[in-house]
Structure 1
Amino acid sequence: MKKFSISLLFSVLCTLLAGCSDPVDVLGKQKSDFVSFLERSHQPRLVPGEQVEEGTPAAFYTVSGDAVYRYIDIGDYYNPARPERPEVTADSWVTVTFRSYVFNNTVIRGLPDGGLTESNFSSVTPPFYANDPSFEPYFRMAGLTPGAWDFEPLRIDMRKGGIIKGLQAALLGCREGDRVEAYMTCNMAYGDKNYMYMIPVQTPVAVFFRVDKVE
């Protein structure tokens, strides 16, 4: 009798067991989706950082870890005062205001400029977690019990972490005052953990944050 190869056995088991998937394929698909979204659907459309010519302002993204795609708001990045602002290093204390989203290959829409109303409530992309106080009215309209959410700024010791790997990687190199979008593959977010019973395993995540202070 011929012996089954390990790869064949794994393939058979994956066919039989619901939810089983090759992690390499999952990560590869998520990376491909991020690149496609950032270069085609994101507003403004972004280009890879290595394609930006020196002295030519452009909206671009960079990649760190495995894998975090980061966009620093073009207005912040090219602000003449930015080089003088404190930079986030591996030894910094950082205070941030953030919103976290499940990424599903669509544009993430924030609060309307004119304010939140019942008529435009459904147009806002719901974050699964946030400490941004401007979103408190949104959570109240969504039925959140007052006091159940913490809208205080998050203070992070970069030496100890205590945050998801993707956010820590995205923070490095940012400067005080930057507004940042970080799109991360599941292994840089919650991996195979079912976070708060709301985020399915192997879910790509986007974290939008503002660097309030760097110490």
Structure 2
Amino acid sequence: MKRLFACLALAGALLAGCSDEEDVLPDQQKRMESYLRSTHAPRLVHEQEIADEQLPCYSTAGNTVYRYIANRYDPERPARREVGERSSVRITFRAYVFSFANIITSGQSVTMPYYTNDPLLRDAFLSLEGFNPAGWSFEPLAIEMGRGDILKGLRLALLGCREGDEVEAYMTYNMAYGGDDFSVVPEQSPVAIFFTVDSVE
């Protein structure tokens, strides 16, 4: 009898865990869309809503990655190389745990990323107590799009970008590190990665 109650309790705990996870994803999607449409500067609309107007907009990939390309309407952009499934890409990036609030990238109150290779933040990181620069590079990150060793959300955000693009990618936890803790990123955390596409081959 005790074994039966233990099994029922375990099953209940597992089902509760599934329910929590099922609630997290739609909540993060809803909050990201709300942030992009109301708090983000500039306020964004979904690309399907822009018709022929050149409004600041975001696109989605898989309903879990939200991408804003700041220079989307640059007249020279279509002539630049595009990131495809097998491209070799170099990017300069800043990665943040996303709290559904504006990320400040310049000025006195810069939001510090949990990881970056942006040389503009090199001195700020070197001044942090306990920061160990060994193994930390401030050179552009080389990514082979055909390999499976990059975050799913970053891969989706890169596809269709062009050389020189300045991109903000917001991703739900399942497109970042999933339900696991990763270094300083708590479990089920949404992530934002701001990056510049330095080169595409």
Question: TM-score, length-normalised on structure 1?
Answer: 0.84
Partner of 1:190, secondary structure, is coil
The equivalent of 1:174 in structure 2 is 161
- How much does 1:149 deviate? 2.3
Distance 1:148 1:155, change over 3 A: closer
Aligned to 1:139: 125
Deviation at 1:192, TM superposition (A): 1.7
Q: How many residues align?
A: 194
1:161·1:168 contact (CA, 8 Å) conserved in 2?
A: no
- Contact map agreement 2:37 2:45 (CA 8 A) in 1: yes
Contact 2:82–2:160 (CA under 8 A) maintained in structure 1: yes
Letter aligned with residue 27 of structure 1: L
Alpha-carbon distance between aligned partners in 1 of 2:63 and 2:50, rounded to the nearest angstrom: 22
2:140: which partner in 1?
153
Single out whichever of 182-191 and 148-157 deviates more from structure 2. 148-157
User: Alignment partner for residue 205 of structure 1, among 176, 191, 196?
Assistant: 191
- Closer, same or farther in 2 for the Cα pair 1:188/1:66, shift >3 Å? farther
Q: How does 1:70-89 map to 2 (within 5 A)?
A: 70-73=67-70, 76-89=71-84
SS at match of 1:212: strand
Question: Counterparts of 1:194 and 1:57 in 2: how far apart (Å)?
Answer: 40
- Pair 1:48 & 2:46 matched: yes
Please state whether the residue corresponding to 1:33 is helix, strand or coil: helix
State the identity as a percent: 48
Asked whether the equivalents of residues 66 and 187 of structure 1 are also in contact (C-alpha less than 8 Å), the reply is no
Mapped to 2, the partners of 1:53 and 1:101 lie a distance apart of 32
- The alignment yields a C-alpha RMSD, in angstroms, of 2.2
**In 1, distance between residues paired with 2:121 and 2:135?**
13
Report the AA paired with residue 127 of structure 1: P
Distance 1:13 1:77 in 2: 47
User: Aligned residue for 2:5?
Assistant: none
Deviations 1:18-73 (A, max 9, x none): x885212000110011001000000000001100012x111000110241000000
Runs ≥4 residues deviating over 6 A:
8-11
Distance 2:135 2:175 in 1: 27
Unaligned 5+ runs, structure 1: 1-7, 113-119
Q: Is the 8 Å Cα contact of residues 29 and 63 (structure 2) preserved in structure 1? A: no
**TM-score calculated relative to the size of structure 2:** 0.89
Aligned to 1:32: 30
- TM-superposed CA distance for 1:152, in Å, is 1.3
